[in-house]
Amino acid sequence: MNTLDSRKNPTARSTASALRAAALISALTLLACSPRASDSKVAEAERHGSENSESAMGSGHLHLTGDFTADADFVVDGCQIGKPGDGLLDGYHMNAAEGVKGIILLAVVQKDYAKDGAYTADTSGAAQVKAGMSTGSFSPLSLMLTGEDATAPLAFMLTPGASLVITYSDNGAKGEAKIVDMESQVGMAEMIAARDKGKPHGKKVSGSVTWSCGHVDRLNGEMNKAVDGMMNKLMPNH
């Protein structure tokens, strides 16, 4: 059995953080170019930007049992909601901040989010391939962890026998993902152990992820159209 350790690993910064940073840069640029701009105004903009960034942070907790155990708090780096769809910014997005102990990646992307309620993931192979092609993630919950005895990071995925139900509340500000039998990739140890026992399988886990957003960014349709248009020009077949 593996347990989640305390090594620090980087993750990609969330889109919400990038949007807040871009907004701050734009505000500072306008102030700097204005004839009446002053050092005090720039300082005030920086202070408000810092306060907004800190207030946007939320909190969450990961609890796993099974072949790999985890019981860890994490910081929510950002939450954002766009319209339901397959666009880059569409749907519901939540990302754990970098620097969380033992957590390499923890993110939720619910492309069909339209309102609060329970969303049950389709665990069929065909559905996961379709999701992977359109979003880059085979599951609404992306979870990659590292443990004391793990020789490589463990990426947990849905299998046809698994279950994932994500419930959103408080207008998207809170969420809970209930996990049953998510499974990591098969490693060398599992292959050797199953040599005389049949088909190898990864480490299975069950448990939950709960979170509360400090702030939810709600994206308008025009922003989605602009980003989708840019992506279509850069990657026509994405």
Q: Which residue has the tokens 């072949």?
A: 67
Higher pLDDT, 150 or 5: 150
CB-CB contact of 223 with 179 (8 Å)? no
pLDDT(5) > 90: no
Which of 16-20, 86-90, 163-167 comes out lowest in average pLDDT? 16-20
Q: Are 60 and 79 in contact (CB under 8 A)?
A: no
User: Given this model, what pLDDT does residue 221 score?
Assistant: 63
Structure-model confidence comparison of residues 213 and 53, the more confident one: 213
Tens-place pLDDT, residues 90-107: 999 999 998 888 999 999
Residue 111 DSSP class:
T
Lowest-confidence pick of 109-118, 155-164, 196-205, 210-219: 196-205
DSSP string over 21-62: HHHHHHHHHHHHHSTT--HHHHHHHHHHHHHHHHHT-EEEEE
Q: Quick check: 67 and 154 in contact, CB under 8 A?
A: no
Range 30-51 average pLDDT = 41
pTM above 0.75, yes or no: no
Tell me the per-residue pLDDT of 157-190, one tens digit each, with 9 for 90 and over: 998 899 999 999 999 999 999 999 999 987 666 6
Give me the residues paired with residue 75 across strands: 59
Confidence of residue 143 (pLDDT cuts 50, 70, 90): very high
Where does the chain show beta strands of DSSP type E? Answer: 2-3, 58-66, 68-81, 92-96, 103-110, 117-120, 141-145, 154-157, 163-169, 174-184, 204-212, 216-218
Q: What is the mean pLDDT of the chain?
A: 75
Closest to 136 in 3D by CA, of 93, 102, 185, 169:
93
Q: What is the mean pLDDT of residues 12-34?
A: 39
Q: Where are the domains of the chain?
A: 2-11+57-234
46-76 pLDDT, tens digit per residue, is: 444 444 444 568 999 999 999 999 999 999 9
H or E stretch at 193? helix 188-193
- Long-range CB pairs of 34-43 (<8 Å, 24+ gap) are none
Bridge partners (DSSP) of residue 69 are 3
**Range 227-238 average pLDDT:** 56
Please report, to the nearest 10 degrees, the dihedral formed by the alpha carbons of residues 197, 199, 201, 207 taken in order: -90
